[in-house]
Structure 1
């Protein structure tokens, strides 16, 4: 049956913890019944009697001593069975016994049984299909960060008009149940049910922090099982209300309900407290009392107290588990992260007053960049390649083909006579300097992400050591990189066809070297130009030794390739967010990033990069920078900023969507004291503070686009229920953005309070996290945003 069928694991704990055990039908005999159906049920639940004829035959063929021993054993077994039965009888308390007496003689229906599924493709008593997420037939598990809320859906149904329910069970990597939640039917016509879950609790601990070992133990492959079940109570209640109202077959309806409540009270799967059991037993006794009116009897089982028990501890008949869905639970910062990029050679760069020439920065002066990133609230610092830069065909300023005598070249033209990917550029410092940088970063609570561009300059040591790793032209020369009409004469691309295994081993060696120096994340340049299998092998080998290491893919390419890279281990990915600027584009793109795609491809939103400067950022000034920062920080759990954004560096190179005087080809000297007059750095700091303070910002699976009447005003909400926030209180953020960086706009914003799980019986008190102002909101709300006052509201529901 399609992609999903109900499957029962032979060694599943479900048969012992989530389904009624084989002993439970016997427990139902606390309902005293005179019907032949119930009597038969009792008989089949008792231990089988010893067959004396069989024993006699065996005794005739064995020595007398063995026959006597066998008889003694049989007698002991019978005595033990009788003793166990008596002990079980003694456990029935007085309240249950009183309910038994009241229910004696009532006629009940057999509950739906749990049908064992013995092979793939068999259905249980309830039908469970199409459990999502389940890409590629479940070969690649969905990926979530520890404690990240996520959504699971399924089709759950039964024949006829009988009501069903569904429960999702979360189990950790050791098979222990950690969470159990009722699912909601969101589309009755399609039998679609959904629920929001989480695997473990959110943590901000870094791999080097004390206590991280406890986080590490929680990582790995978790499972979610959807259990469909017959909702006997709801089915009964629907019919009983009608029959009492029209006085049709009332006694039978109410006596059936009394027996149902009594059975519910002793069902182990319901996990009831003693008080809950007594509540149900008393309700059953009242409902069975024919001296009361029909309305009084029905009210005993149709009231808020019983409804609350049905919500939290329902009677689940015919439990039918789905095949467990696998989830790869990853460490903190695999989904929820804030990146900050700077070039070490520009950090701390100065102009020599004597010569007027630029003196580039070093790894030692880059400490200032770490401190700025920390002050603005970021938690990952991303460094471009820090390896020696080639001389042959070195690029000049603005990607010119001829470099001047003082041009430093592109750090992506990797390798020279000084070394390759395993060497620190001497102009930046030494390996010890780099280790000191990562140590300081860790003291500040920052992770270091290092760019890994798998390409070489013509001067790279690999060119001589491994000439077969490069593609040669018919004339014997090595082909430089190109993407016609673009040409990269300073780079030789790797050819993986001749010796991919050898290249893999060398890359693994290099990555492990930098990990030992303190790197915990690699941002990989253009991974889509290399074989997917290559990355699959490399990432598997590296993470087997260092499971804490994360990988980000800088892959602006086709969706299939981006998805494949995520399957093989790229935890996060660059994406097309910079080019999604209109309301229509964003309303379409945000749900994609924050939907099923988010189980595999964790899009990281960057407003700009060294390679990207869009017309929107160029044309909308300070307001435009703040708008894009708000959208990036609140539109995705993972976002990043390329430094210089705070200084409004927004001049394009003519004819290209990238900066003029690009930092990739020259050293930048910046005056960071000017950042205060723009206020962009202040906005970045505020956004990171809001993100850290609100659990709703953590997930790729909780965003809802809101209706807004103005074409320049975008609105969306993030909501996480109280059970999943870790604080015991629901968390809702409402983001409203004026996309026009020049003019004010007014709009009506519609909130579907029911859908968002918000109160509908009173006004909502909301607080703007950017300004501290407070408002009252409801279903429809008026908003006015002027770029010179407020570019956005980020409202938290109080």
Structure 2
């Protein structure tokens, strides 16, 4: 949804605002100044040429002179630019004129500072999904009592303004101005679908600039009201106002229609008519009709533009995604009655996993590594150091005499079987994500071909992976200091190999154990050829490394959601995930994984699984489920937070008919249906934590303004969850109606997306949740 309410159409021959210089606050130059003053085109072009020529001269001097000379040149340039466009003086009162800017530390005529979101001096762009509303703010101000206005402009990679929004001053004392922008509309198109080429054109590196200007009209109205009320210099004030209205009507930057110009000129005649009372004269310029013109087509004096701030607009599913993980070898596996041995599944039987994921409303299917598994030091059940003759080994022990990272495990099938599996996924509207684990078994071809890629012990043997007290004798980690370039090249080759087979997403295993620069190089190389590919970082580690990996190009990140279980922990983590950090790091909420099963999930039974699913699905735009969750697989390996009978080391034979006994699969489908229905669930930037009185009940709301919802209607969802899987809890939920744009003078109707029941809500709302009835409400607001 694009709102081009107004854009500078008069600065320079291109019809767009033409910054002079490349500094921190890039003024639109003398051409904008003279245009604002109603100067003829010849004068506009001459003034613009003077400013540009002066800037080039300054840059040449700066390249070969001292800092003192640079400062002197800058002062000279600013002085000349001021001369190029002198202010129009009316009865002693002038209006602001742009000041050219050539250095990052120079201010323009209007001061613009503290742009947000911004990190690391804008080295890394903020990231949003196509159609996802996002918030920007800045300090915009001038000297003295002058009023200012501000506009936020989103430009695409070609420099074209695609969204222009007037900003609102939200804190006058601190000069803070804010706006919400949106790059096009939300889309669910996938990379292989018809029409995606048009989506692709809208992606990539964008910029946001803040335009600030002196709001001469608003300043005049404020002063005129006071002067007329106090009978102070009334005639001069009104005469100045009449001339201001005429100048406004002639200013092409305002983008006025013929009717708007006529409205202003007619108003100017009344303001200048000395036969009328001063109140009548002012009323001609101070009324609702003129206020509309002022809001939509303002007179912008001293127009100043900030430096561009980078934003990366990413494809559908980069932020709003629902993941489903399963092991192909367990899908369709069964016990042979004759031998008593497990017959593993393969890519053909694994279609059942695709169909289950689709039925439950997920849109990404994630597979662990599918390459051949080594036999040297192969681990047995639950990670036993000695494997039995029928133990299949861990898929993460990659590589054998049958091939390495670019080969398919023969037990699963052939490459053609894998392509057919992906084709079926695409028919169902599912993306396939593949695990990329950059380590290998002792049997991997790399061990002989590239011994320099591995660390060795003092005795000359290759060091296996370890995280004391845990050891992974079946895995050799990669060393990056001997041949970083070669390892990067091979990693890119492998990823491209799987992309050509139909993979569109990589879930990367333990990226935090490799150099961040390595991933930055690899992801950039892959995206250069395949910009549609997404990356999920499985990095349960320190926040600094997780954030750095996000900066390096990981689209989404595993996070510590699983260990945030108390009300206080959840409220803090929800705000963090959906706050400013959400522009750079997209936390994906998973209740469990094959590696992690918390005490909360272990101890709270079916209700606990339901609670964590609701929090994951509604607390983040991106969430995921590891299969078996529907069957309440919640037994821990003793002394650990890992799943007992871990699927990493064995083939699971599951009876999926038992899922009906628990109802979790139905809940998962309901959660994904609610997410798909409500635009408010798509954003990392619209969550408000709600106050509740009970320490076991957490509540939050998501709201998307109707201008950005795609439906034209505001969309608000309120989530209330009882964290106690054993006991009933009651509370009052306090809703800040004014902040959420909800009715403040009457109750409004809410509908529970999980049960269909309806309630009336207002400021204070009584809620009772019992784990044997409802663990949560997901309430859609109907007003």
Say whether the fold is shared (TM-score over 0.5).
yes
2:195 aligned residue: 211
1:436 aligned residue: 420
**Aligned counterpart for 2:593 among listed residues 609, 620, 630:** 609
Deviations 1:146-165 (A, max 9, x none): 11111111111111222212
Q: 1:315 to 1:717 in 2, by over 3 A?
A: farther
**Aligned counterpart for 2:770 among listed residues 786, 792, 795:** 786
**Aligned counterpart for 1:220 among listed residues 195, 204, 228:** 204
1:659 aligned residue: 643
1:685 maps onto 2:669 in alignment = yes
1:688 deviates by: 1.1
Superposed, 1:407-446 pairs within 5 Å as 407-446=391-430
More displaced stretch, 554-563 vs 727-736: 727-736
1:334 maps onto 2:343 in alignment = no
2:615 aligned residue: 631
Q: 1:194 to 1:745 in 2, by over 3 A?
A: same
SS at match of 2:471: strand
1:371 aligned residue: 355
Number of aligned residue pairs: give it.
724
Superposed, 1:454-473 pairs within 5 Å as 454-473=438-457
**TM-score normalised by length of structure 2:** 0.88
Q: 1:626 to 1:12 in 2, by over 3 A?
A: farther
Distance 2:753 2:223 in 1: 50
SS at match of 1:436: helix
Distance 2:356 2:440 in 1: 32
Q: 1:505 to 1:272 in 2, by over 3 A?
A: same
1:287 maps onto 2:271 in alignment = yes
More displaced stretch, 211-220 vs 784-793: 784-793
Q: 1:787 to 1:295 in 2, by over 3 A?
A: farther
1:9 deviates by: 12
Computing the radius of gyration over CA atoms, which structure comes out larger, 1 or 2? 1
Q: 1:303 to 1:503 in 2, by over 3 A?
A: same
1:468 deviates by: 1.5
Superposed, 1:700-779 pairs within 5 Å as 700-779=684-763
SS at match of 1:748: strand
Deviations 1:720-749 (A, max 9, x none): 222222222222222222222222222222
Deviations 1:159-197 (A, max 9, x none): 122221211001111111111111122233322222111
**Aligned counterpart for 1:13 among listed residues 13, 16, 38:** 16
Q: 1:373 to 1:300 in 2, by over 3 A?
A: same
Distance 2:447 2:112 in 1: 57
SS at match of 1:281: helix
**Aligned counterpart for 1:22 among listed residues 15, 25, 31:** 31
Q: Contact 2:29–2:100 (CA<8 Å) still a contact in 1?
A: no
1:581 aligned residue: 565
2:103 aligned residue: 119
**Aligned counterpart for 2:292 among listed residues 308, 315, 319:** 308
Q: 1:590 to 1:411 in 2, by over 3 A?
A: same
1:100 aligned residue: none
Q: Contact 2:12–2:31 (CA<8 Å) still a contact in 1?
A: no
1:229 aligned residue: 213
1:556 maps onto 2:547 in alignment = no
1:381 deviates by: 0.3
Deviations 1:12-70 (A, max 9, x none): 932399969838757856xxxxxxxxxxx89995999xxxxxxxxxxxxxxxxxxxxxx
More displaced stretch, 414-423 vs 107-116: 107-116
1:491 maps onto 2:511 in alignment = no
Q: Contact 2:33–2:301 (CA<8 Å) still a contact in 1?
A: no
2:341 aligned residue: 357
1:765 deviates by: 3.2
Q: Contact 1:20–1:267 (CA<8 Å) still a contact in 2?
A: no
1:509 deviates by: 1.6
**TM-score normalised by length of structure 1:** 0.86
Deviations 1:622-681 (A, max 9, x none): 222122111111111111110111111111222211211111111111111111221111
Q: Contact 2:597–2:642 (CA<8 Å) still a contact in 1?
A: yes
More displaced stretch, 370-379 vs 19-28: 19-28
1:257 maps onto 2:241 in alignment = yes
Which structure 2 segments of 5+ residues have no match?
A: 1-10, 21-26, 47-88
Q: Contact 1:24–1:267 (CA<8 Å) still a contact in 2?
A: no
Distance 2:132 2:44 in 1: 47
1:288 deviates by: 3.0
SS at match of 2:128: strand
1:718 deviates by: 1.6
Distance 1:450 1:590 in 2: 28
Distance 1:260 1:780 in 2: 50
Q: Contact 2:28–2:100 (CA<8 Å) still a contact in 1?
A: no
Distance 1:430 1:650 in 2: 34
SS at match of 1:22: helix
Q: 1:246 to 1:179 in 2, by over 3 A?
A: same
Q: Contact 2:320–2:682 (CA<8 Å) still a contact in 1?
A: yes
